[in-house]
Structure 1
Amino acid sequence: MKEFQRKQLLERIEREGATVGVDIPDSITVQGEDLDLHAFVMEIRRRDTVPAGERERVDRAKKNLRRERLERKQRLEDENISVETGEQLVEAIIGIDRALNALEQLGPVDIEGKADAQEVADRKRWMQFLQKALGKNDDTHGVGRGQGR
């Protein structure tokens, strides 16, 4: 493969809309194990939210997919491969990206936990607002206030 061909292939995987219209591959070998990727993503996406018991499985799958993507990209960048092999790597990487996008768009795992976190953040913003409004958040820390008088 010539260097300009390699650069074109690398540009394809980094393109903003590379995954638009691309199907998730039926299966893929990830970290040495065959994974029915399409079936896995569709099974998880059928639900509105990911149950707590499945979250670890989904997170592990995303981590492995990211690692596999990186390894394939490094092969494309570094190894002396044919254009045909490069094309296959690009198609696989784009398919992995499509699966990752689908998994990233899943709903929240723990609605109550998310609501609690939002409430804590709201309280913190309110306290910061009050401190600022009451002058308690002033950086001068009393310098010039009645000192020496």
Structure 2
Amino acid sequence: MLTGTTTSAAAQFTSSPRGARLARRFAVRRMEAWGHPPASDVSCAIALVVGELAANAVLHGRVPGHDFGLRLALDPAAGLVRVEVADAAATRLPPASAPSSCPEGESGRGLLLVEALAVRWGSAPRRPLGKTMWAEVSTEGPAHL
């Protein structure tokens, strides 16, 4: 949970693979502006988390005519960056925990990756419609690596 003085940035992206790529690039640029170069562990972790949550918003949360939103919040006092990806699909809720995935499967590892990189993650309903997936990543480096 973010506790101190935060700096934040937010943007809307089209619910498309291109929008997910642009969200990831936006996050890397924002992390660089906040003092975390693109090749740093923190920036790479944020890029992966944003990429996975944005891809899920596009794949599972897409509602025609609605974009998805990305919000990043840096809390230096807590040593955390909070990533929030909001989509318009309230009926497609994520699992309460990362699903186990067959090693030979072609998909299903996104939330496992988020779980590995984040201190904590979850979802919340979004008003008036949709949901927000969120993850908090330590600025000291990935949580479980």
Q: Output the TM-score relative to the length of structure 1.
A: 0.23
Q: Output the TM-score relative to the length of structure 2.
A: 0.23
Q: Which structure is richer in relative contact order (CA contacts within 8 A, separation 6 or more)? A: 1
- Larger helix fraction of residues: 1
